[in-house]
A and B are shown apart, each in its own frame.
Chain A
Amino acid sequence: MRRALTVGVLLLAIAFPLAMQAIDQTYYVTMASRILVYALAATSLNLILGYGGMISFGHAAFVGAGAYTASIMIAEGMPSAWIGWPLAMAVPALLALAIGAISLRTRGVYFIMITLAFAQMIYYLTVSMKAYGGDEGLTLTQRATLGFGLDLKDDATFYYVVLAILVAALFLVSRLVNARFGRVVQAIRENESRMEAIGYPTLRYKLIAFVLAGALGGLAGALLANQNSYVNPGILHWTESGKLMIMVILGGVGHLYGGVFGAIGLLGLEEVLANHKFAWLAALYPDYQQHSLLGVGVAMLAVVLYAPQGIAGLFRRGKDG
C-alpha cells in the first residue's frame, strides 16, 4: 500500500513536466525544480535535526559552500558536473567535519548559537571573496555539463536530474536510518548519556551524521547555483538556515519525507501568498502580500499547535487510525 503510493507519486512527478508542456505552463517546471532542490537541502538537515536531534542553525553554510564550490569550478573553466558536484559535496563535508568537531561538544542553546556563529563566519568569508564577486555574487557563464546528451539549460532536463538525485538521496536516507548507524543516531537523540553508558562514542556518530548532512546539503547548493546560474552570499545568510529549519519542522521532524513536505509547503505557501490575491485575506489584512512572512509565521504556529509532527505526521495519523 505504502509502496504503491510512493510509486504513484513518483509517476506523477515524472509526468509533471510533460503535462506542463502540454498546457504551456513551463514556469511551473522551474518552480518545481526549485522545490525539489530545497527538498534535498531540507532532507539533509532533517538527517541531523530530525533523526539526530542536533538543532543546527547553520545549515545554509553547507548549502552555500556547495553552491560556491560548484560555481567556482564553472568560473574556472571546469564545468563537468562529474568533478564539480562531488567537490561541492566534499568541501561542505570538510567544513562540517571542522565545525562539528567543535560545536557537537556543546549542548542545547549553545549548540544552536555556535553553529549559527560558524555559518555567519563563512557567510562573511564569501562576502570578502572579491575574486568571485564578493557581495555582488557570481554569475555563471554556463551550467554544469553532464554528458550523455543531457543539457541542464533545458528546464525539463534539469528537473529530471534534480528529481533523480532527490529520489536517490531519499532512498539512501531511508536505508541509513534503518541501519545500525541510523538506529545509533536516533538513540543518541533519545538519550545521549545512556548511549555513552552502554559503550557508544556518541560524538563520533553525531559527527559522521553531521558530515553526511553537510555533503548532501552541499549537493543541493550545487543544484541551486546551477538553476539560478548565479550565486551570492545571500544563500549562506542565517535566514536561509532558518528557512530550512522551518521546512523541516513544517514537513515533519524525523520523518523520511519531512523535508519534501516542508519544501512543498513553505515554497508553495510563499508562492501562493506572493502571486495570488485572495479577496477575503485582503479584506482581513490589506497589506498581506507585502508581509508574506507573516503568513508563514501563522502557518508555523498552526503546525506547532495542531500538528507537532508536521505534515508527514498528518499522513501518518490518517494511516494509523
Chain B
Amino acid sequence: MAEALLRVDGLEKHFGGIVATDGVTLEVAPGEIHALIGPNGAGKTTLIAQLSGSLAPDAGRILFGGADITAMPQHGRVRAGLARSYQITSIFRRFSVRDNLSLAVQARSGSSLAFWRPVAAETALAEEAGRIAAQVGLGDRLDAAAGSLAHAEQRCLEVGLALATNARLLLLDEPMAGMGPDESQRMIGLIERLRATVSVLLVEHDMDAVFRLADRISVLVNGAIVATGTPAEIRADADVRRAYLGDEVPT
C-alpha cells in the first residue's frame, strides 16, 4: 500500500474530565475520501482542530506526507497542504465572495508584505478567485458580501475557502450542515469531483452522502475510533450499528 498522506498516531485530548480524543490512530491514503462519522459530541470537530493545528493535542503524533507536523503552527500546515473547513460557518462576512476567495489565493501566491500596489489591480488573484467560485457554484455571486449570502451559499463559500488554499488534504467538517436535499446533492457532486485532485477527510452526519462518497469510513465514539473499513464493512459491523448507525444506514 502507498504511504499514507496523513497518519495520526495515538492522539489524545482532554478537556478537564472529558476525554475528547482517546488514542486516535487513523490513516488517510493519497486520493482517498475518508469519512469520519460518530454521534454528537464524539469528538470529531476536536479531532479536526488538532489535525489542522488550532488545538494542541495532549499526546500523540500527526504525520503529513511523512513529516511530523504535531508542533507545526496552523498556517504552516496550510502551506504544507493541509486545510480545513468549519462546521460553524467562518467566513469574512463584510468582504465580497471574490475578496474572500482571493484572500485565500493571496496566501499561497507571493508575499503579502506588499504595502503599495493596490490588491484590486491584481487580476491573477481575482481570476483564480472567480474560478474557485464557479467550482463551488458561486460564479454569479462574486460581488455579493459574504454575510448577505443565503445559508447554503455560505456553506459553499466555507468549502471554497478551504479549496482555495490548494490543499492536498481537505478536512471538511460537516460541509452539508443545515443544507436542504438539493443543496446537499450539489455539495456531494462537488466533493465527488474533488476526488481526482485532493484527498478528503470528511466529517458528515448525512449518511447518504457518506456512503456515496467514502472510500473508507472510520467511526468515532466517545473520542475513540471503534471501527474503520469500507462502506460495506461498516454497514455490516454489528457494533457500529448498535453504537451509532441505527436505522439510518441505507441498504
CA distance A191 to B84 in the complex (A): 15
Q: Size band of the B side of the interface?
A: 35 or more
A176 and B76 alpha carbons, distance in the complex (Å): 25
Query: Contacts of B196 on A, CB cut-off 8 Å?
Result: none
Q: In the complex the two chains form, is A199's CB within 8 Å of B104's CB?
A: yes
Whether a CB of chain A sits under 8 angstroms from the CB of B26 is no
Please tell me if B108 contacts chain A, counting CB pairs below 8 Å. Answer: yes
- The reply to whether A199 and B114 form a contact with Cβ atoms under 8 Å apart is no
Asked if B232 CB lies within 8 Å of chain A CBs, one says no
- Asked if residues B91 and A194 are in contact (CB atoms below 8 Å), the reply is yes
Of A110-118, A181-189, A261-269, A273-281, the one touching chain B: A181-189
B165 in complex: contacting residue of A181, A183, A198, CB < 8 Å = A198
Contact between A198 and B161 (Cβ–Cβ < 8 Å)? yes
Give CA–CA (A48, B216) in the complex, Å: 47
A205 at the interface (CB under 8 A from B): yes
Tally of A-B residue pairs with Cβ under 8 A? 95
Which residues of B are found within 8 Å of A205, using beta-carbon distances? 112
Q: Would you call A191 and B75 a contact (CB within 8 A)?
A: no
Q: Which residues of B have CB within 8 Å of A175?
A: 115-116, 118
- Cβ of B83 within 8 Å of any chain A Cβ, yes or no, is yes
The answer to whether A187 and B95 touch across the interface, beta carbons within 8 angstroms, is yes
Q: A193-B90, A197-B54 are in contact. Are A181 and B112 (CB under 8 A)?
A: yes
Q: Does B60 contact A (CB under 8 A)?
A: no
With a 10 A CB-CB cut-off, give which of B93, B106, B117 has the most chain A CB atoms: B106
As a 0/1 sequence over residues 158 to 199 of chain A, the CB contacts with chain B under 8 angstroms (1 = contact) are 000000000000000001101111111001001101111111
User: Is the CB–CB distance between A198 and B112 below 8 Å?
Assistant: no
Return B144 CB to nearest CB of chain A, in Å.
16
A179 near B104 (CB under 8 angstroms)?
A: no
B119–A183 touching, CB < 8 Å: yes
Residues of B within 8 A of A197 (CB): 52, 54, 74, 78, 83-84, 86, 90, 161-162
Give bound CA distance, A249 to B179, whole Å. Answer: 40
Compute how far the CA of A34 lies from the CA of B115 in the bound complex, rounded to whole angstroms: 29
Please tell me if the beta carbons of A181 and B75 are within 8 angstroms of each other in the complex: no
Q: Which residues of A contact B186 (CB under 8 A)?
A: none
Q: Is A208 an interface residue (CB 8 A)?
A: yes
Residue of B nearest to A176 (CB): B115
Q: Is B236 an interface residue (CB 8 A)?
A: no
User: What residues of B have a CB within 8 angstroms of the CB of A195 in the complex?
Assistant: 103
Report the separation of the CA atoms of residues A195 and B112 in the bound assembly, to the nearest whole angstrom.
13
> What is the 8 Å Cβ interface bit string for chain B, positions 87-131, against chain A (1 contact, 0 not)?
000111111000100011011100111111111101000000000
For A, the interface residue count at a CB cutoff of 8 angstroms equals 24
Would you call A180 and B114 a contact (CB within 8 A)? yes
Name B80's closest neighbour in chain A (CB-CB). Answer: A199
CA of A200 to CA of B165, assembled, Å: 11
Query: Closest B-chain residue to A190, C-beta based?
Result: B92
**Cβ-defined contact, A179 with B78, below 8 A:** no
* Nearest B residue to A174, CB-CB: B118
Query: Are A196 and B115 neighbours in the complex by a CB distance under 8 Å?
Result: no
Residues of the B chain whose Cβ atoms lie less than 8 Å from the Cβ of A183:
99, 103, 106, 119
Question: A219-246: which residues lie under 8 A (CB-CB) from chain B?
Answer: none
Q: Determine if A201 is an interface residue (Cβ-Cβ < 8 Å).
A: yes
Q: Does B151 contact A (CB under 8 A)?
A: no
Known contacts A199-B75, A200-B112, A180 near B119 by CB under 8 Å: yes
Tell me the A195-214 residues at the B interface (CB within 8 Å): 195-202, 205, 208
A269-321: which have CB < 8 Å to B? none
A201 vs B111: C-alpha distance when bound (angstroms): 12
> Given A180-B114, A184-B112: A196 and B92 within 8 A (CB)?
no
User: In the bound complex, what is the Cα–Cα distance between A193 and B54 (angstroms)?
Assistant: 8
Chain B contacts with A in 28-75, Cβ cutoff 8 A: 52, 54, 73-75
Q: How far is the CA of A21 from the CA of B23 in the complex (A)?
A: 80
Asked whether B117 lies within 8 Å of A179 as measured between CB atoms, the reply is yes
Question: Which of B78, B86, B92, B106 is the most central at the interface, judged by chain A CB atoms within 10 Å of its CB?
Answer: B92
Distance in Å from the Cβ of A187 to the closest Cβ of chain B? 6
Query: What's the Cα separation between A50 and B144 when bound, in Å?
Result: 23
Which of these, A187, A191, A199, contacts B78 with CB under 8 Å?
Answer: A199
B8 within 8 A of A: no
Contact B115 A194 (CB under 8 A): no
Contacts of B75 in A (CB 8 A): 196, 199-202
- In whole angstroms, what is the CA distance A193 to B74 when docked? 10
The 7 sampled A-B contact pairs (Cβ below 8 Å) are A179-B115, A183-B99, A183-B119, A196-B75, A198-B103, A201-B75, A205-B112
Chain A residues in the interface with B (C-beta under 8 A): 175-176, 178-184, 187, 190-191, 193-202, 205, 208
Q: A183-B103, A193-B90 are in contact. List 4 more A-B contacts (CB 8 A).
A: A178-B120, A187-B92, A191-B92, A194-B91
Where the two chains meet, the residues of B that have a C-beta atom closer than 8 Å to any C-beta of A are 52, 54, 73-76, 78-79, 83-84, 86, 90-95, 99, 103-104, 106-108, 111-120, 122, 161-162, 164-165
